Amino acid sequence: MPDVYNWQLGRKMTYRFPERHSRWQFAAVFNINRCIACQTCTMACKSTWTHARGQEYMWWNNVESKPYGGYPHFWDVKTLELLEQANPGGQTWTLAGRDGRRAPYGVYGGKTIFEAAPRGQDYVGYLPTDDEWRAPNLYEDTSTAYPTRPGRYHPTGETLPQHRTWFFYLQRICNHCTYPACLAACPRNAIYKRPEDGIVLIDQRRCRGYRQCVEACPYKKPMFNAFTRVAEKCIACYPRIEGRDPLHPGVPIEARCMAACVGKIRLQGLVRVDADGTWVEDRYHPLYFLVHVARVALPLYPQFGTQPNVYYIPPRWVPRPYLRQMFGPGVDEAIAAYVAPSRELLAVLQLFRTTKRMIFRYRITPGRKVFETTIDGKPWAMYNDTIVGFDRAGREVVRVTVEEPVFVRPRQHLNTI
């Protein structure tokens, strides 16, 4: 198999096809700390794309409670076990060799799902059973160290930075991976990655329902339609990305799950990609800033090797070993950046869910100091800066301040909307 460069692993890896990249890439950052598991994203997707016959069990967007929840059940534990069996004790990282955009998390010394493949196969994976697709939100709100008696939690209480009793919500969509396992697995070459935006699609006319994409995808995001006998998956709401939404003609806007998010946890956009698959330096693009400058957002299970394009700000109260396994060795740096955000990071975090239009660049205008305190013994100050977001054509699409304005209802409207 050819060698390709995977910057999330800081090294080359084997993949079925030679290196070739889209010019732009669909990407997003999800802030786990803010999610309230309202499932508005899930329903926005469901009501748009998967309400037909054969799609009853399909949740292209789902939100699961970790550590026990998952759809299909235990999808990540099962793939981690397959990798461990293929390379016992060897799934490790080294921080030596950390290098800017090309190896921001150091170098992964273990095996990916492509490298752990048995002889004669392109990947290691598994096909979930029907039972595992049964309940999309099993173990909702179930923590570890669950109280044995009602009202009893861990005796030392729950204080930051790491709780003894914990769970968190993980928001999941197809990652529109740079090296999609679904695409590599398809014997019909029915899966393709679009050169203009990196969105991964299944050609329904070519698909014969072999389900090898379902078996190969470590995130289990392709789903088989037993009625049409072909596989389906998240299409990244591509008509909206292309500017074909009737309400916003000609303007790229965010996918439905992003635009509907009540908790303001999601920011989606398009990033420019270099010939080696790394992101072109774009200092004032909000996604580039969050991933490569602030380094507060991390890929989900980068060790799987598909170079996923959805990034997560990890939850700050969860035990670090669990998070390091899930998001790689950048976790400690990311949480430190989030807990005491720089002036610029705090401003960029205000952009989440302020507009449906994709933001391609931001500018910050300094404001006055409004608050000061100490965090972990160090002085920290908050400034009421103004952040302005611009669309692809350089037009202003949003303007917000760090301090949210307070609106007081006039007396005669106290009880109305």
Question: What residue ranges bind ligand SF4 (CB under 6 A)?
Answer: 35-41, 63, 171, 174-177, 180-182, 200, 217, 219, 221-222, 233, 260-263, 265, 306
Nearest approach, Cβ of residue 217 and ligand SF4 (Å): 3
What is the number of the residue whose Cβ is closest to ligand SF4? 263
Whose CA is closest to 28, among 297, 223, 395? 297
**Nearest of 239, 227, 267, 216 to residue 49 by alpha carbon:** 239
Q: How near is the Cβ of 89 to ligand SF4 at its closest, in Å?
A: 26
Query: 166 vs 383, which CB is nearer to ligand SF4?
Result: 166
In the complex with ligand SF4, the residue whose CB is nearer, 172 or 364, is 172
Cα 214 to Cα 216: distance, rounded to the nearest angstrom: 6
**Rounded Cα gap, residues 83 and 378, in angstroms:** 41
Q: How far is the CB of 306 from ligand SF4 (least distance, A)?
A: 5
Angle between the N-to-C axes of helices 320-327 and 331-339, in degrees from 0 to 180, rounded to the nearest 10 = 110
With b for 16 or more beta-carbon neighbours within 10 A and e for fewer, the 48-84 pattern comes to bbbeeebbebbbbbbbbbbbbbbbbbbbbebbbebbe
Least distance to ligand SF4, CB of residue 99, Å: 25
Q: Tell me, what DSSP letter sits at residue 253?
A: B
Query: Which of 26, 166 has the CB closer to ligand SF4?
Result: 26
CA distances from residue 295 to 30, 100, 131, 363 in whole angstroms, order as listed: 13, 10, 38, 19
Q: How far is the CB of 61 from ligand SF4 (least distance, A)?
A: 7
Nearer to ligand SF4 among residue 42 and residue 143 (C-beta): 42
Residue 165: closest CA among 149, 137, 190, 142:
142
Rounded-to-integer distance, Cα 216 and Cα 340, Å: 39
Residue type, 282: D
Which is closer to ligand SF4, CB of 1 or CB of 38?
Answer: 38
**CB 46 to ligand SF4: min, Å:** 12
For residue 194 the two structure tokens come to 């679009």
CB of 133 to ligand SF4, least distance (A): 15
CA distance 349 to 342: 11
Please report which residue ranges of 65-208 form alpha helices under DSSP H: 75-86, 181-185
Residue 264 contacts residue 34 (beta carbons within 8 Å): yes
Q: Of the two residues 140 and 333, which places its CB atom closer to ligand SF4 in the complex?
A: 140
Give the nearer residue to ligand SF4 in terms of CB position, either 171 or 268.
Answer: 171
Asked whether the beta carbons of 144 and 165 are under 8 A apart, the reply is yes
- Per-residue tokens: 249: 């003609």
Least distance in angstroms from the C-beta of 317 to ligand SF4: 16
Q: Which is nearer to ligand SF4, 207 or 364 (CB)?
A: 207
